[in-house]
Amino acid sequence: MKTRSILALALLLPGMAWSAASNWPMEPMKPDLKNVPSLQNGFRLYVNYCLGCHSLQFQRYERTADDLQIPHDLALENLVFTGQAIGDLMETAMDPQLAKDWFGAPPPDLTMVTRVRGPEWVYNYLKTFYLDETRPLGVNNKVFENVGMPHALIDLQGIQRSGCIQVPKIAANRGEMRDPLEPGRPITEEKCDQLVLEEGTGLYTAEEYDQAVYDISNFLHYVGDPSRLERHRIGGYVLLFLLILWVFTWLLGREYNKAVR
């Protein structure tokens, strides 16, 4: 019994370590491998904004292009910037030692990141960079405190700050509270540790940015297990096969039963 509870505790520990890292309320994100345009866009954004620092060293361009239904010539022309061949692994041109000197930590390979952290974590991570002059790179992150990565997508998202905002006060079970003296005027309260986007400072609107970040996380979810797509498809055929087999087995069983009687 004792060993069992120790084992259970040991299994729980890694999860506790991650959740202890940040108490930021995570926005849900559900990956969708059937959404090919999203995966294609994630691939495009990844090679443009991330591959300069983060390799995907277990993933080949060719396989990615095939899985995401992108013709090889198009992929070579628009998605391979490192002068590599289509059959090559998606490596970065950055020298890991130099990178370590620049950022303090070398940018890790991201092939497995969604299997370790989960796609939802990556999605929230990419959404929660904010300006912080006390940090060497001028930015900090809500789900990865004191991160050593610059905000790679700041051009798209724009400038985000962390601070206090006024939000409508919510009464228990009665919705937003209104001012009794000035009908219609909501009563507000101050909420701190919130992210505020300076509108118009990024190329994308907030919705477009959310979609872009969703697509990158979705793409990294695919990269974490590229055969998942195929497995789901094959799984369907296997079930169909079993169903047909079951019909014949049942018919055969009925014949046997007749003979026995």
Q: How far is the CB of 112 from ligand HEC (least distance, A)?
A: 9
The reply on whether position 90 binds ligand HEC by CB under 6 A is no
The type of residue at 185 is: R
How long is the chain?
261
* 226 contributes a contact to ligand HEC by CB under 6 A: no
> Of residues 149, 209, 215, 223, which one binds ligand HEC by CB under 6 A?
149
Q: Which stretch binds ligand HEC (CB under 6 A): 20-28, 45-53, 78-86, 182-190?
A: 45-53
Alpha-carbon span 217 to 223, nearest angstrom: 10
What are 245's two structure tokens?
Answer: 């087999």
Site residues (CB under 6 A) for ligand HEC, limited to 203-222? 216
Q: How far is the CB of 22 from ligand HEC (least distance, A)?
A: 12
Using the contact rule CB under 6 A, the part of the chain among 13-21, 67-75, 108-116, 236-244 near ligand HEC is 108-116
Distances (CA, A) of 41 to 55, 82, 207, 232: 18, 19, 15, 22
Number of chain residues interacting with ligand HEC (CB under 6 A): 22
- What is the rounded CA–CA span in Å between residue 252 and residue 92? 59
**Angle 102-107-111 (CA atoms, 0-180°, nearest 5)?**
170
Residue whose C-alpha is closest to residue 22's, from 149, 195, 145, 146: 145
CB of 152 to ligand HEC, least distance (A): 4
Read off the tokens for 164. Answer: 């206090």
Name the residues that contact ligand HEC, by CB under 6 A: 49-50, 52-54, 103, 105, 107-108, 110, 113, 117, 122, 125-126, 147-150, 152-153, 216
